[in-house]
Amino acid sequence: MEPPQQIEANAGADYLEVISKAVFQSGMSWAIVERKWDGFREAFCGFEPEVVAAFTGSDIERLTADAAIIRNRRKIEATVHNARQIIEAEDEHGNFRSYLRSHGDFEATVADLRTRFKFLGDFGCFYFLYVVKEPVPSYADWCASRGVEPVALS
């Protein structure tokens, strides 16, 4: 199994995109999400947190009718919420990387991410942190510590 591609996250949009991919992949075929991802980038304005955070009810209605993306209302609403949380974390810590590194260790970071961001569970947090090159345990060790079987990450 090949791990997902890691990125150099430089701005809130990079982080929001990876969090959103983790959110929309939850319970879905990764292949479907990958096929539609260009549509997501367009629909969510390049995942610019300030733009997405300003989405209104009519924007959410428009997105629930957009066949270019997965039209799950709760996950669309979560993406808007998560954009607001990225902005808040950046305001509190200067930038999102500083927010991520303010927790001390992997487990504390995951606990805070799960509290702050909607639709981001343990696996989504692991995926997110791995992709943005934050320290994570080995995937096999992480799965073993949770008593779960490893799955393909891409």
Q: Using a cut of 0.95, tell me whether the model's pTM lies above it.
A: no
Q: Residue 2 falls within a domain, yes or no? A: no
Q: Residue 99 falls within a domain, yes or no? A: yes
Q: Residue 141 falls within a domain, yes or no? A: yes
Average pLDDT over residues 109-126: 95
Q: Residue 153 falls within a domain, yes or no? A: no
For 58, the enclosing helix (H) or strand (E) is helix 57-64
Q: Residue 132 falls within a domain, yes or no? A: yes
List pLDDT tens digits, range 77-98: 999 999 999 999 999 999 999 9
Residue 87: CATH number of its domain: 1.10.340.30
Q: Residue 54 falls within a domain, yes or no? A: yes
Q: Residue 25 falls within a domain, yes or no? A: yes
What is the domain count for the chain? 1
Q: Is the pLDDT of residue 150 over 80?
A: no
pLDDT of residue 73: 98
Q: Residue 104 falls within a domain, yes or no? A: yes
Residues 6+ apart with CB under 8 A from 7: 14, 18, 131, 132, 133
Range of 49's domain?
12-146
Beta carbons within 10 angstroms of residue 32's beta carbon: 12
